[in-house]
A = this chain, B = another copy of it.
C-alpha cells in the first residue's frame, strides 16, 4: 500500500526505493517538522539503513528538495495545462483554481511539507523552488491582467488578487483531511466559483 501511494505521488521518480524514502520523509517532516527529523528516523521508517538512504539522497536537505521540487513541478504543470486549455481568462482562472485547490486537498500531507518547510531549503535549492513559485504566480497574475483588459474582470490590484487566489488553495492543505465531507474535486469547483467572484467576473 505504501508502495502504490509513493508511485501515485511521484510517478516520475525512479527507483521505487527513492520514492519510499520520499514518502517516509514527507510523513516524518509533516509530523515533527524538518529540523526535528533525522535521516536515521526517515531511513528507519522506510525500513532501510541510513547508508541505503545516502545512496539516493546525499543529505536530509536533498530529500526535502526532491519532495519540494516535485510538488512544485506537479502544481506548475497543472496550472500550465489549465491555462493553455482555453482562450478565455475566466475559464483559465476557474480551471487553475479548481486544480490547485483539489491538489492541495488530495495531497494535503505532501502539500504541507512543500508549503511550510520552504525556509529549511539550502539557498541554491530554495532559488530553484522560488523560481517555480514565481512561474505559478506569474501565470495567474497575467491571466488576471488579461481578464481585466478584456473587461471580463474588475480588479484593483492584479498582484494582490493573484496572491489571494493562491492563498485560498494553499491554506486548504492546512485544514483538509480525508474526513472532510467534500471531495477535493467538489471543493475545487466551489473555490473556482469563489475565485471568479473575487475577480468581479462578468460571467461565472
Q: Is A52 an interface residue (CB 8 A)?
A: no
Size of the A side of the interface (Cβ < 8 Å), in residues, is 32
How far does the alpha carbon of A193 sit from the alpha carbon of B31 in the complex, in Å? Answer: 36
Q: Is A85 an interface residue (CB 8 A)?
A: no
Q: How far is the CB of A188 from chain B (nearest CB, A)?
A: 11
Chain B residues within an 8 Å CB radius of A174: 115-116, 167, 170
How far does the alpha carbon of A36 sit from the alpha carbon of B35 in the complex, in Å? Answer: 5
Q: Is A197 an interface residue (CB 8 A)?
A: yes
Q: Is A62 an interface residue (CB 8 A)?
A: no
Q: How far is the CB of A175 from chain B (nearest CB, A)?
A: 7
Q: Which of A137-171 contact B (CB under 8 A)?
A: 156-157, 160-161, 163-164, 167-168, 170-171
B33 contacts A164, C-beta separation under 8 Å = no
B197 contacts A156, C-beta separation under 8 Å = no
- Chain A residues proximal to chain B, CB less than 8 Å: 31-36, 115-116, 119, 156-157, 160-161, 163-164, 167-168, 170-172, 174-175, 182, 187, 190-191, 193-194, 197-200
Given contacts A32-B35, A116-B116, 11 further A-B contacts (CB under 8 A): A31-B119, A32-B33, A33-B35, A160-B187, A160-B190, A164-B168, A167-B168, A167-B175, A170-B171, A197-B197, A197-B198
